[in-house]
Amino acid sequence: MSAEDARPALPRGTDGTTREEPEAPAAGGEPPEGDIGFADPDDGDFDETAAEFDAAAAEFALHGGEFAGPPFAGRPFGGQPHSVIFAPGANINNGSVHGGQRVENGGAATGTGTGGRRVEAHEGPISAIEILDAQAGFAEPDWFPEALAELDSRLLFLTGEPGTGRRTAALNLLSRHSGGSMSLRAVDGDMNLASWRPGHRDTRGYLVDGLLPDYPLKPGMVRHLQSLLSTADARMVVVLPDAPELVRRLSRDLHVTPVRCAPPPARAVFDARFKHAVPDPSERARRLAALEPGLLDELLAPELVPAQVAELVAAVAAAEDGGPDLADLQKRLSFLAEGEVPDLLAQLRDDADGLAFLLATCVFEGLDHRIVREEAERLLALADGRLSSVLPEGADDSGEDGRRERERTPRPNPQFVFRRSLDELLRSVRAERSASEIHSNPGYTYAVEAVRFTRHRQAEAVLRHVWREYGHLSGLLTEWMADLRNEQELTEPVGRVMGRAAGWGGGRRALQHIRTLAESNRRTSRTIAAYALGMAAEDPVLAREVKYRLSLWSAQQSWQVRSTVAYTCGADFGAARPELAMRLLRNVPRGLSDEHERTVDRAVRDALRDLFASGSQATVFRHLAEWADREGTLGDVALRTFPRLLQNTSWCQEQLVDDGEYAPQIIDLVHRTLNDEELFAATCNAVLWWCRMATWGDLPRTAVETLLTALAADVRHGVFRLFVTIDRADDPDLAGLSIVRDALNTWRHGEPPRHPANGSTHLNGSTS
Enclosing H/E stretch for 184: strand 184-187
State the angle between helix axes of 128-135 and 166-177 in degrees (0 to 180), rounded to the nearest 10: 100
Using DSSP's 3-state secondary structure scheme, residue 341 falls into helix
Q: Kindly state the DSSP code that residue 368 receives in the 8-state scheme.
A: B
- Rounded distance between C-alpha atoms, residue 76 and residue 79, angstroms: 6
- Rounded distance between C-alpha atoms, residue 683 and residue 672, angstroms: 10
The domains found in the chain, sorted by start residue, are 81-92+333-389+418-482 (no CATH), 140-260 (3.40.50), 266-332 (no CATH), 484-599 (no CATH)
Q: What is the pLDDT of residues 431-442, one digit of tens each?
A: 999 888 888 877
Write the DSSP assignment of 120-142 as a string of letters. PPSSEEPPHHHHHHHHTTPPPPT
Confidence tier at 172 by pLDDT (50, 70, 90)? very high
Tell me what percent of the residues of the chain surpass a pLDDT of 90: 45
Tell me the CA distances in angstroms from 594 to 263, 518, 557, one per residue in order: 56, 20, 14
Cα 495 versus chain centre, distance: 12
Q: What is the pLDDT of residue 681?
A: 95
Average confidence score pLDDT of the chain: 80
Q: Indicate whether 161 pLDDT > 80.
A: yes
Sign of the C-alpha dihedral computed for residues 103, 106, 108 and 109 taken in this order: negative
Q: What is the pLDDT of residues 463-485, one digit of tens each?
A: 999 988 888 888 899 889 888 88
- Rounded distance between C-alpha atoms, residue 189 and residue 123, angstroms: 9
Contact 536, 572 (CB under 8 A): no
Q: What is the pLDDT of residues 571-619, one digit of tens each?
A: 999 999 999 999 999 999 999 999 999 999 999 999 999 999 998 999 9
Q: What is the pLDDT of residue 24?
A: 34
- Rounded distance between C-alpha atoms, residue 574 and residue 120, angstroms: 11
Q: Indicate whether 740 pLDDT > 80.
A: yes
Q: Mean pLDDT across the stretch 196-209? A: 90
Q: What is the pLDDT of residue 649?
A: 82
Q: Mean pLDDT across the stretch 511-515? A: 90
Q: What is the pLDDT of residue 530?
A: 96
Q: Indicate whether 261 pLDDT > 60.
A: yes
Q: What is the pLDDT of residue 69?
A: 39
Contact 574, 611 (CB under 8 A): yes
Most confident among 92-101, 154-163, 676-685 (mean pLDDT): 676-685
Confidence tier at 411 by pLDDT (50, 70, 90)? low
Q: What is the pLDDT of residue 766?
A: 37
Confidence tier at 16 by pLDDT (50, 70, 90)? very low
- Integer-rounded Cα Rg, in Å, for the chain is 29
Q: What is the pLDDT of residue 320?
A: 61
Q: What is the pLDDT of residue 284?
A: 87
Contact 601, 592 (CB under 8 A): yes
- Rounded distance between C-alpha atoms, residue 97 and residue 458, angstroms: 11
Q: Indicate whether 333 pLDDT > 90.
A: no
Confidence tier at 395 by pLDDT (50, 70, 90)? low
Most confident among 251-265, 286-300, 314-328 (mean pLDDT): 251-265
Contact 95, 52 (CB under 8 A): no
Tell me what percent of the residues of the chain surpass a pLDDT of 70: 76
| Buried/exposed code over 132-153 (b: 16+ C-beta within 10 A; e: otherwise) | ebbbebbbebebbeebeebbee
- Rounded distance between C-alpha atoms, residue 151 and residue 173, angstroms: 8
Q: What is the pLDDT of residue 643?
A: 96
- Rounded distance between C-alpha atoms, residue 166 and residue 102, angstroms: 12
Confidence tier at 398 by pLDDT (50, 70, 90)? low
- Rounded distance between C-alpha atoms, residue 111 and residue 473, angstroms: 22
Q: What is the pLDDT of residue 752?
A: 62
Alpha helix locations (H) across 437-577?
A: 458-469, 471-482, 488-505, 512-518, 523-536, 540-554, 559-569, 572-576
Q: Mean pLDDT across the stretch 625-643? A: 95
620: left (phi over 0), alpha (psi -120 to 50) or beta: alpha
- Rounded distance between C-alpha atoms, residue 151 and residue 236, angstroms: 8
Between 390 and 167, the more confident residue is 167
Q: What is the pLDDT of residues 223-247, one digit of tens each?
A: 899 999 999 999 999 998 888 888 8
Tell me the CA distances in angstroms from 446 to 28, 42, 203, 436, 439, one per residue in order: 22, 20, 46, 10, 5
Q: Indicate whether 10 pLDDT > 80.
A: no
The closest alpha carbon to 242, from 219, 261, 218, belongs to: 261
Alpha helix locations (H) across 160-279?
A: 166-177, 219-231, 244-254, 266-277
Confidence tier at 731 by pLDDT (50, 70, 90)? confident
Q: Indicate whether 38 pLDDT > 70.
A: no
Q: What is the pLDDT of residue 101?
A: 57
Q: Indicate whether 414 pLDDT > 70.
A: no
Give strand pairing partners of 239.
158, 209
Most confident among 63-72, 117-126, 537-546 (mean pLDDT): 537-546
Q: What is the pLDDT of residue 468?
A: 87
Q: Indicate whether 296 pLDDT > 80.
A: yes
- Rounded distance between C-alpha atoms, residue 482 and residue 596, angstroms: 21
Q: What is the pLDDT of residue 199?
A: 83
pTM: 0.75
φ, ψ for residue 761 (rounded to 5)? -90, 0
Contact 274, 245 (CB under 8 A): no
Q: Which of 153-157, 411-415, 518-522, 753-757 has the lowest mean pLDDT?
A: 753-757
Q: Mean pLDDT across the stretch 321-348? A: 71
Enclosing H/E stretch for 208: strand 205-209
Q: Mean pLDDT across the stretch 167-179? A: 93
How many residues appear in the chain? 768
